[in-house]
Amino acid sequence: MNIAFNPPELPKPSGFSHAVKAGDTVYLAGQIGGGETLAEQFDNALGNLLTALRAAGGTPDDLATLQVFVTDVAEY
């Protein structure tokens, strides 16, 4: 059975869930982060990701992989 998690701290999703737990595995939706600098945007996006993960019962230690996409490679 799959269980969707959409924590109230995150924007209301439309057409997706922030996290879905299937068995012992949690699948996380991509997150964006607001802010002026790349560091602020990264911190906000990672904070949103961890909020979704914790809502599904996970912790940062449970992450197996993380992909980061940037639009300005030179700034990164």
Q: What is the pLDDT of residues 19-74, one digit of tens each?
A: 999 999 999 999 988 899 989 999 999 999 999 999 999 999 999 999 988 888 88
Residue 76 has a pLDDT of 77
- Pairwise CA distance, residues 48 & 32, whole Å: 8
The tens digit of pLDDT for each residue in 1-18 reads 899 999 999 999 999 999
Look over the chain and give the mean of its residue pLDDT values, rounded to a whole number.
93
Q: How confident is the model at residue 75 (pLDDT cuts 50, 70, 90)?
A: confident
Please spell the DSSP secondary structure of the chain, one letter per residue: -EEEE--TTSPPPSSS-SEEEETTEEEE-------SSHHHHHHHHHHHHHHHHHHTT--GGG--------S-TTT-
